[in-house]
Structure 1
C-alpha cells in the first residue's frame, strides 16, 4: 500500500544489478503494479549493512544471508519469495499470499562440461544425491534456511533451468535490468 501511494520513492537494496535479489524486486514491481526503486550494492553484505543501519528500508536477500539477523531481532522478515512459506520461518508469509503467482527461488545446481561420458555423468549425479541425503549435511543446511529440493533427474533439472531462463528473461526485458 505504501509503495502504491509513493511510486518510485520506496527503495530496496540488493546484492547488485542483475542479481536474483534485484530481479525479485523487479518482478514484484511488475506483478504488484508498484515502482520500488532499486539500489544496487556490490554484494549482499554491504546491502544488508545499510538496511541494518537504517539507510534503506528493506533488502531482497537469501535466508542464509539474513536468518541470523532475523533470529537476533536485528532484521524483521516481511515475506519470503518462494511460492510457499519457508520451514525456517513458518510465521512469515510468502509474497504469493499477497501477490498471487509471485515466486522466485535461488537454487544451486551441479553442472558438467558438455560431452562428459554418460557413465561419468551418472556417477556424479548418484554421488551428489547420496551426499545431499546425508542427515548431518541436511540438518546444517536447514539450520541456515536452505530448503533442499527433492532429487531430480538430469532431464527434470534441464526443464527447470529452461523454465527459469524464460521467466527471468521476461523480467529482465520488461525492467531493463542489466549486469554491472
Structure 2
C-alpha cells in the first residue's frame, strides 16, 4: 500500500501573479508538470482579496472552502455562495470566474483534472468507515477543521488540520476517527 502523509507545515507557499493570495501545490500528475501539462493537480490556496480566477481551458475544477467565513464565486455571471454549511463547488476552468470574500480571508482546496483524461470526485466525511470508489487511481484525504486518525491495514496515521494523506488504489476499509470533517478527493 502506497501511503504518504504530506504535512501542511511543509508545503511551500508561493504568491499569485496578481498578489491576491498564495498557493501551495499538494500533488500533481505527472510530478513536476506545469499548468499547461498536468493531468491532475491538487493545491491549497489562501485567498486574501476579491478578484478574477485564472482561466484553465479544458480543466474541470472543484473548490472547497476549508477555513474562513466563506466566499462568493461568480461563474459566468451566476453567483454561488460557499461557506461552512455549503463548502464546495465544481465548475469548468473554461468559465469566466471571479471571487468576492464574504468576511475576511479564506483557505481553500483546489482540485483540477484535465477533461478527457482524468476525472475527480470529492466527498465530505466525518468519523466512520469508508471505501474508495471503484476505478480510483489516487485518493487524498484532508482534515478540514480538526485532527483525524486514519487506520489502514492496522496502521494508525495521525493527521492535523490541513495535512494531506495520499492513498494509492486500495479496496481496504479505511477507519476515520475525529470530531470534525475531512474532504476526500478521488482521481480516476
More strand by percentage:
2
**TM-based fold match above 0.5:** no
Max Rg structure: 1
Give the TM-score of the pair, scaled to structure 2. 0.27
Q: Name the one with the larger helix percent.
A: 1
